[in-house]
Amino acid sequence: MPIRIEQATRIEPAGNKPKQIDEYIGRVNSQTEGVSIAHMHSPSGWIEPGQRPEFDEFTVVLKGMLRVEFEGGQMDIYGGQAVIVNQGEWVRYSSPSEEGAEYIAVCLPAFSPSLVHRDSE
């Protein structure tokens, strides 16, 4: 039988500024360990600590620009574009543009603080 998700759960974010994370599917909202799907809104100037997660992350930017730093460089992902970061790769996300960023993040397996391995700040 299909499972209806009535609403998202707001998740506490990491980073230097308040960021909105609404988890629809994942360990918190639906007790799903295999995948997480969250809608994110990050303000202008937001940056989070670098991380080396134990999950693949698929990100679709809906609006604005998301900067993705990685070992060896960085790339800017704009509304209508997407990026894949494979597990074990070091990555740091930020939204340096004036408009910030709105995006959907899908993690396989589901995001967990114990699997993200953030850099110490």
pLDDT for 34 beyond 70: yes
**What is the average pLDDT value for the chain, to the nearest integer?**
96
pLDDT for 121 beyond 70: no
Query: Considering only CA atoms, which of 31, 39, 36, 17 is closest in space to residue 108?
Result: 36
Backbone torsions φ then ψ of 42, nearest 5 degrees: -115, 135
Q: What is the pLDDT of residues 44-77, one digit of tens each?
A: 999 999 999 999 999 999 999 999 999 999 999 9
Looking at the chain, the whole-number percentage of residues with pLDDT higher than 90 is 95
Q: How far apart are CA 17 and CA 65, in angstroms?
A: 16
Query: What is the reported pLDDT for 120?
Result: 87
Joined together, the tokens standing for residue 14 give 């990491």
Q: What is the pLDDT of residues 90-105, one digit of tens each?
A: 999 999 999 999 999 9
Q: Could you tell me the pLDDT band of residue 12, with boundaries at 50, 70 and 90?
A: confident
User: Which of these CATH numbers, 2.60.120.10, 1.10.10.10, 3.40.640.10, 1.10.3720.10, describes 10-116?
Assistant: 2.60.120.10
Q: How far apart are CA 20 and CA 41, in angstroms?
A: 5
